[in-house]
Amino acid sequence: MRKFRMLVLAAALVVFGASDVLAAVQYVTIGTGGVTGVYYPTGGAIAKMVNKKRKEYNLRATVESTGGSVFNVNAIDAGDLEFGVIQSDRQYQAYNGSADWEGKPVTKLRAVFSIHPESVTIVANASKNINSVADLKGKIVNIGNPGSGQRGNAEDLFAAAGIDVDKDIKAEGMKAAESAGMLQDGRIDAFFYTVGHPNGSVKEAVSGATKVNFVAVPAEIVKKLTDKFSYYAPADIPVADYPGVTNSSDVPTFGVKATLCTSADVSDDAVYAITREVFENFDEFKTLHPAFANLTKESMLQGLSAPIHPGAMKYYKEAGLVK
């Protein structure tokens, strides 16, 4: 993607002249996740808003489907992405140098705003009688591809439940987009997906011939997780969004937030423009995906553990959201 943008820029320099092009447009890319998740349409919604004003801001935003939170953090740190949608737990870990970044904090990581809540969702083949986390022992479970948020959440959950990922389950490491088909084909017994609801991939999983259920996370395990990790909170999976699932009531679990992050190296003007367009068109933004329905401007400043980028802070102070 970056090579493509550089080629486009080089061609423009030849046609229009260096000074005009460099003054005219700044290109930024927003890293998201799999195309079936909420990250990809979230990035698309943000880019769409900014690109409506591209002449005013001299800014052009594009969206890239990626491997998820860890990939986005590392790509932002390397300068390969300007922005990325990142789970709040991964934001905390990256900036503080823990988990995948043990001893190597991503000090340039900057927060822009929070978006929708994401529930740790465990989808299981109903015929396998997986009704609790303990029932996952001995089963084939897709915990997510390396670099995905759900993989880290699954590992935290298993640790809190006293389950050894290497010995007690048969762990698969596929992308979330592959999980629904694998479950319906009987190649896995269950899968993890940390995602906002409703979600297309989860809908696909519950709509096939194989009956499925959501797996509840017991309250005592949720408490262990929320006591240990400040970025986790209790959550529920709404069964009304998924006709065909065998659960009769909302399913308790835990969750995080999706957040938009950037680098300290990204210009204040670019971050200000993106922040301003989302917040100034807040009602429109909320309609762009069902997962945004309960957003408030105030909630979008929660769950941010990395420092807020100065470009975003400039807007928040102008709007009276931060004193």
Q: What is the pLDDT of residues 16-64, one digit of tens each?
A: 444 444 457 999 999 999 888 889 999 999 999 999 999 999 999 999 9
Domain count, the chain: 2
Boundary-marking domain end, from 235, 256, 277: 256
Answer yes or no: are the C-beta atoms of 147 and 179 closer than 8 Å: no
Selection from 183, 159, 146, 155 nearest residue 71 by Cα: 146
Q: How far apart are CA 316 and CA 295, in angstroms?
A: 16
Q: In Å, what is the CA distance from 153 to each residue of 61, 204, 207, 213?
A: 30, 22, 25, 19
One domain for residues 234 and 280: no
One domain for residues 270 and 248: no
Selection from 202, 172, 176, 197 nearest residue 187 by Cα: 172
pLDDT attached to residue 74: 97
Boundary-marking domain end, from 212, 237, 256: 256
The SS3 call for residue 122 is: strand
- Evaluate whether residue 30 is within a structural domain: yes
One domain for residues 206 and 271: no
Q: How confident is the model at residue 93 (pLDDT cuts 50, 70, 90)?
A: very high
Strands 140-142 and 190-195: parallel
One domain for residues 55 and 102: yes
One domain for residues 162 and 290: no
pTM (2 d.p.): 0.80
Q: How far apart are CA 188 and CA 119, in angstroms?
A: 21
Question: Does the pLDDT at position 10 exceed 80?
Answer: no
One domain for residues 269 and 248: no
pLDDT attached to residue 252: 96
- DSSP state for residue 218 in the 8-state scheme: P
Boundary-marking domain end, from 256, 276, 308: 256
The partner residues of 63 in beta bridges, in order of sequence, read 30
Q: Residue 174 has which token pair?
A: 């596929």
CATH for 168? 3.40.190.10
The proportion of the chain whose per-residue pLDDT surpasses 70, expressed as a percent, equals 93
One domain for residues 86 and 127: no
Question: Does the pLDDT at position 105 exceed 90?
Answer: yes
DSSP E strand boundaries for 32-76 = 59-64
Side-chain-side CA neighbours of residue 80 (13 Å): 11
Domain residue limits at 147 = 118-256
One domain for residues 102 and 125: no
* Least reliable range by pLDDT among 3-7, 34-38, 87-91, 162-166: 3-7
pLDDT attached to residue 3: 54
Other CB atoms within 10 Å distance of the CB of residue 317:
11
